[in-house]
């Protein structure tokens, strides 16, 4: 009898949850909307659709998002991450769409931009309503209306404010004071004039969300037109590789061409926030057990590029660990410092065996601005994108008695030449305070 009531209560709770979710969606469409949002929904929702990736074996959806028509000949915009499975594994997955009238049609992938998380699809179905592409330049505080299909529960509109481009971001995004939910990725963000200014891409919660500026969609649409409206596939690995190579060249090349900002940690000057796409954090600690005082600093790019459900790239991370002995005991310090500094530290979990080879490493002792340092240089290749690598460098001082520097650098998705040039510049930038 107790089991019966537990099951009954569980089912009631589930029904209650779905009722609440349905009411939330219903309110998003009706009662909670301002008159302007209500009019926007009635006027433009016909151009929005749900995009689904279907597993060929089970015929069930593997992922879902949103999209919108922007040409009369059936072109649909969405996010790359929504259709990534079908891009990477076309023998296992395909793309289909559910239109506003509930009809279902297969979709062809015409072009992708994994760096800015965009894709263009095409359907042979008759197109009704389309959305005009605008631009991403509005005054801060202007209203924006975002459309999408959250949690597979039905089409909604979210009203919020335009807050300009996200500052200190390698991959520009529009900052939106409104809540995007899973399933809304790839939907359009409209200004009050009904023109698309961005594409839904992600949310940080607490009414903070992001759009991809519409300029990047226009760019890959131009590529489709230049290709006479035909798909740039099916060899999407080459397309992805091209985007990654160009992005890495621009990012690394730009940093190599300018002076680097430095900071001091302990008695050494090291690269700090070397460009405005990095964020740095610091910390200090006093380990009384091992008679060590530690100073720590980490800098990293905050963005990454989604390639598949197992693979991200496009990040740079570097950190410094500076240790000083509490008291004049070089033997104790050396033993503890050696133990602390023998591990590589960094963001290495960006792929699996199918994505990356194992790291291959070289080690040598190098004179760094007058001090002897042990330098470990490691690289691993991308199996699907020829000529791209993850690279790491670990630098550990070896000739000081009661102080020591342990530095780690990780750069992902770069060519050998650019990766090595970046790491060598790091070494040259290290200067000991006399």
Q: What is the pLDDT of residue 22?
A: 38
Q: What is the assigned CATH class of domain 243-432?
A: alpha beta
Below-70 pLDDT ranges, the chain: 1-32, 287-290, 345-347
pLDDT digits 0-9 by tens, 16-27: 333 333 333 433
CATH entry 2.40.10.120 includes domain 33-232: yes
Q: What is the pLDDT of residue 320?
A: 96
Q: What is the pLDDT of residue 166?
A: 80
Instruction: Provide the residue count of the chain.
Output: 434
pLDDT digits 0-9 by tens, 69-101: 999 999 999 999 999 999 999 999 999 999 888
- Contact assessment for residue 373 and residue 396, using Cβ atoms and an 8 Å cutoff: yes
Instruction: Give the Cβ contact number of residue 276 at 10 Å.
Output: 11
Q: What is the pLDDT of residue 4?
A: 37
Q: What is the pLDDT of residue 206?
A: 72
Q: What is the pLDDT of residue 5?
A: 38
Q: Where are the domains of the chain?
A: 1-30, 33-232, 243-432
Q: What is the pLDDT of residue 23?
A: 34
Q: What is the pLDDT of residue 55?
A: 97
Burial code of 18-50, b = ≥16 C-beta within 10 A, e = fewer?
eeeeeebbeebbeeebeeebbebbeebbbbbbb
Q: Which of 393, 411, 403 is nearest to 321 (CA)?
A: 403
Q: What is the pLDDT of residue 151?
A: 78
């Amino acid at each position: 009898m107790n089991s019966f009531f537990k099951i009954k209560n569980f089912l009631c709770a589930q029904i209650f949850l779905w009722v609440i979710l349905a009411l939330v969606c219903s309110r998003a469409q009706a009662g909670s909307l301002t008159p302007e949002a209500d009019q926007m929904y009635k006027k433009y929702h016909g151009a929005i659709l749900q995009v689904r990736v279907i597993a060929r074996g089970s015929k069930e959806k593997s992922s879902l998002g949103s999209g919108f028509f922007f040409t009369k000949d059936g072109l649909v915009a969405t996010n790359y991450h929504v259709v990534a499975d079908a891009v990477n594994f076309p023998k296992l997955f395909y793309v289909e769409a559910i239109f506003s009238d509930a009809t279902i049609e297969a979709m062809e992938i015409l072009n992708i931009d994994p760096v800015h998380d965009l894709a263009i699809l095409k359907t042979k179905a008759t197109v009704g309503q389309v959305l005009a592409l605008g631009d991403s330049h509005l005054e801060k505080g202007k209203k924006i209306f975002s459309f999408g299909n959250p949690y597979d529960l039905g089409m909604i509109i979210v009203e919020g404010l335009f807050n300009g481009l996200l500052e200190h971001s390698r991959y520009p995004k529009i900052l939106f004071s409104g809540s995007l939910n899973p399933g809304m990725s790839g939907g359009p963000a409209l200004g009050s004039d009904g023109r698309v200014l961005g594409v839904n891409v992600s949310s940080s919660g607490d009414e903070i969300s992001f759009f991809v500026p519409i300029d990047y969609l226009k760019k890959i649409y131009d590529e489709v037109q230049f290709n006479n409206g035909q798909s740039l596939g099916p060899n999407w690995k080459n397309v992805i590789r091209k985007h990654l190579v160009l992005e890495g060249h621009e990012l690394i090349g730009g940093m190599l061409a300018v002076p680097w900002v430095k900071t001091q940690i302990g008695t050494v000057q090291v690269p700090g926030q070397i460009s405005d796409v990095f964020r740095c954090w610091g910390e200090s600690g006093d380990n009384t057990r091992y008679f060590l005082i530690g100073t720590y600093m980490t800098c990293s790019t905050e963005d990454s590029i989604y390639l598949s459900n197992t693979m991200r790239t496009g990040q740079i991370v570097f950190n410094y660990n500076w240790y000083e002995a509490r008291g004049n005991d070089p033997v104790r310090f050396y033993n503890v410092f050696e133990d602390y500094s023998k591990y590589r530290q960094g963001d290495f979990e960006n792929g699996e065996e199918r994505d990356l080879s194992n790291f291959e490493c070289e080690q040598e002792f190098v004179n760094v601005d007058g001090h002897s340092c042990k330098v470990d240089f490691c690289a691993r290749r991308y199996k699907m994108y020829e000529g791209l690598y993850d690279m790491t460098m670990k630098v550990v001082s070896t000739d000081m008695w009661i102080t020591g520097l342990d530095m780690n650098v990780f750069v992902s998705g770069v060519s050998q030449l650019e990766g090595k040039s970046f790491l060598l510049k790091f070494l040259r930038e290290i200067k000991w305070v006399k």
